[in-house]
Amino acid sequence: MNSNGDGITQARETGTLGKLMVLLDLVTHADAPLRFTDILSLAGQPRGTLHRQLSHLVEEGLLELDGDGRYSPGLRLLDFAARSWARNEFRLIAEPHLAALQQATGETVHLGVLRGSSIIYLDKVEGRQSVRMYSQIGNASPCYCTGVGKAALSLLAPESLRGLVAGLSFTRFTASTHVSAETLLAEIREIADRGYAFDCEEHEAGIRCVAAPVWSEDRTFIGGISITGPAYRLSMELLREWAVPVQLAAERIMEGMRIRLGPRR
């Protein structure tokens, strides 16, 4: 079971909408469907109130209840997600540039945005020789061990960066994962100087990437794009060569943002 529940519950303790959002977060982030008793222990709400709220969410199609009494995300949530994804202007602007980068390299290309201390993947173009990876559209990954995440962090002002890093709980996913603020901050400074980042098997063993930062003029969008693939195919020498095309793609996406999303008169 996903352990995000405690933080979600603490973040929104009052208000009907806030409590409903807690329940949606708990169910959608769980590794497997949850029973009523699981949600009761995680949500910290009275049994009667919880039962009513879950019933409302099921009636609205936001959650589904199977014959074994387990709750899972409802089809209406999938519809919301699909419509939001399809209409996301950042994704639409980036789409042709991601496709061109994938065609040029043959490897998987990602577009992600920084939200808190996580990278949320907005788009993914599979490589011609795809290798199974954790990343999926809508998934969240830690910012400190992904190329897109570290590229995005390099855009933050020093004070904001230090504050974000100070609040991280480092998890060692592989032998290469950063587990201290000092080593992460040192690498972010290098990334800021050169303009691109690497993921050297830091989140998934056997997976490498090169990433470049992407941002909107008002900094409401801070994220990055990356070329990702298996380490046996993507040598560090090759990733350094691909730093140029990934940076060029990032620049084209940002130019598209300036044209399409700039001030309207």
CATH number at residue 61: 1.10.10.10
CATH of the domain at 188: 3.30.450.40
On whether the pTM is more than 0.85, the answer is no
Ranges 124-133, 192-201, 225-234, 246-255: which has the least confidence: 124-133
Same domain as 139, residue 189: yes
Residue 43 contacts by C-beta under 8 Å, 6 or more apart in sequence?
5, 9, 19, 22, 23, 26, 50
Same domain as 109, residue 42: no
Query: Do residues 102 and 125 lie in contact, with contact meaning Cβ atoms separated by under 8 Å?
Result: yes
Same domain as 116, residue 243: yes
Ranges 49-58, 211-220, 235-244: which has the least confidence: 211-220
Per-residue pLDDT tens digits for 33-51: 999 999 998 888 889 999 9
Same domain as 196, residue 71: no
Terminal-to-terminal C-alpha distance of the chain: 50
CA angle 169/163/113 to nearest 5° reads: 75
Which segments of 77-167 are extended strands (E)? 108-115, 118-125, 140-142
Same domain as 75, residue 95: no
Quote the domain boundaries for residue 28: 5-80
Same domain as 182, residue 108: yes
Same domain as 96, residue 49: no
pLDDT at 8 (0 to 100): 41
Same domain as 121, residue 249: yes
Measure CA 54 to chain center: 27
Q: How many folded domains does the chain comprise?
A: 2
The SS3 call for residue 244 is helix
Same domain as 102, residue 66: no
Per-residue pLDDT tens digits for 167-183: 999 999 999 999 999 99
